[in-house]
């Protein structure tokens, strides 16, 4: 639960900043960046050997990928097509 809690907190904190980036930059590049963050996070999680490594991945790469590929980008993306 600690990893999920950290994930949600970080995603909420970085959403305004990434939302501003979505207004300024191409959605395609941001979604591709988010996809790479998710792929890297899940790949590294598969290789992790300790719980703290999973927590670090859950509060770094995965929230960025989720925000850049989630509902925020789909809502903003429609306005800037």
Average pLDDT, the chain: 88
| pLDDT of the residue at 54 | 92
Q: Cβ atoms within 10 A of the Cβ of 53, count?
A: 13
pTM assigned to the model: 0.82
Mean pLDDT, residues 14-35:
89
Instruction: Summarize pLDDT for 29-64 with one digit per residue, the tens.
Output: 989 999 999 999 999 999 999 999 999 999 999 999
| pLDDT of the residue at 52 | 93
Nearest by Cα to 3 from 41, 36, 33, 43 = 41
Measured CA to CA in angstroms, residue 46 lies from 7, 40, 42, 69, 73 at distances of 17, 10, 6, 21, 27
Q: Cβ atoms within 10 A of the Cβ of 21, count?
A: 14
């Amino acid at each position: 639960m600690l990893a999920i809690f950290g994930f949600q907190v970080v995603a909420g904190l970085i959403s305004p900043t990434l939302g501003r980036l979505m207004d300024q930059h191409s959605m395609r590049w941001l979604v591709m960046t988010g996809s790479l963050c998710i792929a890297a996070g899940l790949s590294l999680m598969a290789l992790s050997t300790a719980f703290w490594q999973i927590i670090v991945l859950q509060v770094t790469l995965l929230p960025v990928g989720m925000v850049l590929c989630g509902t925020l980008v789909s809502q903003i993306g429609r306005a800037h097509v």
